[in-house]
Homo-oligomer: A and B are copies of this chain.
Amino acid sequence: LLTTSQHGQDNVMTLSWHMMMEFEPPLIACVVSEGDFSFKALNETGQCVLAVPPLELAKTVVAIGNCSGCDTDKFEVFGLAKRPARRVAAPLIEAAIANLECEVRDRRLVADYDLFVLEAVSAWIDPALANAKTIHHRGLGVFVTDGRELKLDSKMR
């Protein structure tokens, strides 16, 4: 999930396409389509929160993706509690496993691909959800939940 806030109006959207880009500073790339209502707020404020939803929130995640902030207060409609962030105006999602407060660092690929480079400037985790299962979007409403964990001796971070 990706939250934004502009002119006192909070919004939340469902985000499929994102990846880590760097450890230090912690950079994340994400694609927010110009057609999404959140695009303008993200682009103009340069701020957002990335929230990692647990499996229990899967239906809400899809419902959030099926409507638009242009005519819906999604926090109210879906009973999604929010909390103030520390470094950005966009709100944290209380039910999330983790919340990353982010600032836009690079817009060079926005015009051509709607790709934003974000830096996580503050990070929250909910220790009570440390073992919560995450969900992976495969497209067309199909998700895969976490299965067995595998620990291998790796030099990779």
| A96-125 interface with B by 8 A CB criterion | 106, 108-109, 112-113, 115, 117
* Interface: A141 (CB within 8 A): yes
B66 and A155: CB pair below 8 A?
yes
Total count of chain A residues near the partner, CB < 8 A? 48
* Interface: A147 (CB within 8 A): yes
Beyond the given A66-B153, A113-B117, please list 19 additional residue pairs across the A-B interface where CB-CB is below 8 A.
A16-B20, A17-B20, A19-B19, A19-B31, A20-B31, A22-B31, A27-B113, A66-B154, A106-B109, A109-B109, A134-B144, A141-B151, A141-B153, A143-B149, A143-B150, A143-B151, A144-B148, A145-B149, A145-B150
Instruction: Give 21 pairs: A residue, B residue, CB < 8 Å, sorted on A.
Output: A17-B20, A18-B19, A19-B19, A21-B31, A22-B113, A55-B150, A65-B154, A65-B155, A66-B153, A106-B112, A106-B113, A108-B108, A137-B156, A140-B156, A141-B152, A144-B149, A145-B147, A145-B148, A145-B150, A146-B147, A147-B148
